[in-house]
Amino acid sequence: MQHAFKTYTLYLPHRQLRLTRPCVMGIMNVTSDSFFAGSRTSTDADIEHRVKQMIDQGADIIDVGACSTRPGATPVSESEEITRVKHAMSVIKRVAPESIVSVDTFRSEVARMAVEECGADIINDVSGGFMDKDMRTTVARLGVPAVVMHMRGTPATMQQLTQYDNVVADVTHELELTLRQWRDAGVTQLIADPGFGFSKTLEQNYRLMYHLHTLHALEVPILVGISRKSMIYKLLQCSPDEALNGTTVLNTVALLQGAHILRVHDVKAAVEARQLLQALTSGEN
């Protein structure tokens, strides 16, 4: 299952991120309703502790989310999301000013504020630009990289939209069309996320994971976010709290297929998986 790792360079507002090896993106949820309770932060002390922990454990990117997009979630208001992002970013920039920060939002005004006012480096849009018509042109003007995820519908409706002729071919094709729309809007730096758990059944998630390497045909970096998701805990009949081992197994499968970014709750485990796999594959030389 080992596949070649394709290198890319992302040009951030004040530096470069060279993807010469897989990166680990640590999740920071400044929400009260994210599906994994262990990822929730709200106070300055919580955020500061989480930032320091992720940086100490080797996170390459911190991903700030202030509006839950779990299945069936009802989004918070835009003003509330902005307040939460501003709060989290102020703490991050004080504690770890050199950290690379991604902001997980589907709202163009949140994206604008996060980059222009708070110094965010990357925008991570779970809707692929379909939930806010201004997102693509906003990101183009901001000049930052965008993570474009595959999802159908909204978090409230997506699990009713799981009909595919061939989930691998269809997701790849739909992502290709979406990436083209972002390029047409003027966005030149794109990262593709197949959207595990979004508009997909459990079986479809595993078929997509097995064929993840086919997404390299898109010729953009690939982000994988399966950390503690239902595709793991439902199959193993456990809770999100007990899904770390399953997460690490699937992250390793993703790394074997050339994934560029792992979006995770547990930075240490992902960094160790990357380290072990690099030691293993160095034996090929």
Closest CA to 98 of 55, 65, 148, 140: 55
218: tokens are 């898109």
Strands, E, within the chain: which ranges? 8-11, 16-19, 23-29, 61-65, 100-104, 122-125, 146-149, 190-193, 223-224, 261-264
60: tokens are 């390459």
Which helix (H) or strand (E) element contains residue 69? none
Which helix (H) or strand (E) element contains residue 236? none
R_g of the chain computed on alpha carbons: 17
The pLDDT value given to residue 281: 81
Known catalytic residue: 229? yes
CB 167 within 8 A of CB 204: yes
The pLDDT value given to residue 209: 98
**Extents of the domains making up the chain:** 22-278
In whole angstroms, how far apart are CA 73 and each of 28, 31, 205?
18, 12, 20
Task: Report residues of the chain scoring pLDDT below 70.
Answer: 1-2, 32-42, 70-73, 283-285
Dihedral sign (CA 275, 17, 255, 125): positive
What number of other Cβ atoms are within 10 A of residue 37's Cβ?
12
The pLDDT value given to residue 191: 98
186: tokens are 């003027």
The pLDDT value given to residue 36: 45
| Range 22-278 classified under CATH 3.40.50.300 | no
Indicate which residue of 84, 200, 228, 263 is catalytic.
263
Predicted structure pTM score: 0.93
232: tokens are 């793991």
Which helix (H) or strand (E) element contains residue 249? helix 244-256
Indicate which residue of 229, 234, 268, 274 is catalytic.
229
The C-alpha atoms of residue 135 and residue 212 are separated, in whole angstroms, by 27
110: tokens are 């949140």
The pLDDT value given to residue 73: 66
